[in-house]
Amino acid sequence: MTSPISFTLEQEGSNGLMRAGVLTTPHGVIHTPAFVTVGTKATVKALSPEMVKGLGAEVVLANTYHLYLEPGHKLVRDSGGLGSFMNWSGPTMTDSGGFQVFSLGSAYGTSVSKVAKDTPDPVDDEQQVVDSAVKLARIDEDGVTFKSYSDGSEHRFTPERSIEIQHAIGADMIFAFDECTSPNATYEYQKEALERTHRWAKRSLEYHKAHPESEKQGLLGIVQGGRFEDLRKYSAELISSLDFDGFGIGGSFTKKDMDTAVGWVTRLLPKEKPRHLLGIGEPGDLFGAVENGCDLFDCVAPTRLGRNGSVYTRDGRVNILNARFREDLKPIEVGCGCYTCSNYSRAYVAHLFRAEEMFGATLASIHNLYFLIHLVRDMREAILHGTFAEMKQRFITRYYKA
């Protein structure tokens, strides 16, 4: 059976891993490597689809669990599918709800994120002690029972159910239902969770292939294995052996080891299919991931940081609320081509945040998304021109100079 999505490699890097390509979906093409804009609840927070398109985004990723809870996947289906519902005409993706197994489960009530710090914060360790009874996700072999974070009602996700819902939502690319594990999980637990995720991957795939939606929607299998080399490689081989349309690399990492861990996996994945690194990332992480052969990335950071007043610049991330920007009439980044920097000053954006005017979140989100999307796009160009290493060196030196 032919895949509803096709991937063409344009250029491979000298390290044999990184590559530039073109991913064709039923709703348009994505030039990879590409940063995927996150629109969890069928909206990129604070932005209209026109703004999202205008800042250069080629694809939007929504969330199955969130849309299932609100407004319900059937309504999305009856609205003509995700793209039609949210008025986004380009390519779309949905995450399976696997991340919510983590964020509402083991990470609930803690400050643990999927990317662990190299030097653990003792406060984090204390906060990890959360009664398992209050967590909102419970895992068993067959699936996950969630308690809605908004009204406490109970819901059940299985691999089949996740795919069924993702079929209704109708994104071009969907993900197998997996378990995103905590970076603090033991090897034993990671292994156990990995085996389960593999069984879920097969079930997701079987359910998908048995339905006509598989002719319009591509299914991506997810490699897990935490921070353990043998588990990552085992997972990459097993997931590769299945007939997925592409691959996701999920789960937890250490900031320092992320590149290495991604490399273990991408070396084993078939070159002719796209790889999506789930939930990453920060500028530095993106360089490492691209260098190690990832094609797609999504991250909430640009929009969340934007709403909270942090903005990216070539000289590092800054908080626009800092006193020094109060009367600073320069754009957030001199030379930036985004709508925000073309028309507004730091002082104005800072004023909006201080006055709690919602347009501030919009302007900061536009800038941050533009920054990351164009950063990855620049990486793509650099791969095509064989100048990736210099480009990376130049950026990293300046961005992390402190």
Partner RNA sequence: GCGUCGGUGGCGGAGUGGUCAAUCGCAACAGACUGUAAAUCUGUCGCCCUUCGGGCUACGUAGGUUCAAAUCCUACCCGGCGCA
DSSP secondary structure letter of residue 42: S
Instruction: For residue 173, state whether it binds RNA (rule: CB under 7 A).
Output: no
Q: For RNA, which residue of 178, 213, 245, 295 counts as binding (CB under 7 A)?
A: 178
> What is the amino acid identity at position 226?
G
Instruction: For residue 182, state whether it binds RNA (rule: CB under 7 A).
Output: no
Residues constituting the chain: 402
Instruction: For residue 326, state whether it binds RNA (rule: CB under 7 A).
Output: yes
Q: For RNA, which residue of 49, 250, 263, 293 counts as binding (CB under 7 A)?
A: 250
Q: Which two tokens stand for residue 165?
A: 């819902």
Q: Which two tokens stand for residue 158?
A: 């299985």
Instruction: For residue 309, state whether it binds RNA (rule: CB under 7 A).
Output: yes
The number of angstroms, rounded, from the C-alpha of 316 to the middle of its chain's C-alpha atoms is 21
Spot the catalytic one: 178, 245, 285, 298: 298
Q: Count Cα neighbours of 73 within 13 Å in the Cβ-side half-sphere.
A: 20
How far apart are CB 97 and RNA at their closest, in Å? 8
Cis peptide, bond prior to residue 270, ω within 30 of zero: no
Task: Say how far apart CA 44 and CA 37 lie, in whole Å.
Answer: 7
Task: Say how far apart CA 354 and CA 216 lie, in whole Å.
Answer: 46
Q: For RNA, which residue of 95, 160, 291, 295 counts as binding (CB under 7 A)?
A: 95
Spot the catalytic one: 78, 95, 172, 378: 95
Instruction: For residue 251, state whether it binds RNA (rule: CB under 7 A).
Output: yes
Instruction: For residue 109, state whether it binds RNA (rule: CB under 7 A).
Output: yes
Task: Say how far apart CA 329 and CA 326 lie, in whole Å.
Answer: 9
Q: For RNA, which residue of 102, 200, 234, 287 counts as binding (CB under 7 A)?
A: 102
Task: Say how far apart CA 195 and CA 181 lie, in whole Å.
Answer: 12
How far apart are CB 41 and RNA at their closest, in Å? 7
DSSP secondary structure letter of residue 150: T
315 is catalytic: no
Cα angle at 298 between 296 and 301, to 5 degrees? 145
Instruction: For residue 57, state whether it binds RNA (rule: CB under 7 A).
Output: no
Instruction: For residue 66, state whether it binds RNA (rule: CB under 7 A).
Output: yes
- Residue numbers annotated as active site: 95, 298
Site residues (CB under 7 A) for RNA? 38, 40, 44-45, 61, 63, 66, 95-96, 98-100, 102-104, 107-111, 113-115, 149, 175, 178-180, 222, 224, 248, 250-251, 255, 278-282, 285, 298-301, 303-305, 307-310, 319, 321-324, 326, 354, 356, 358, 361
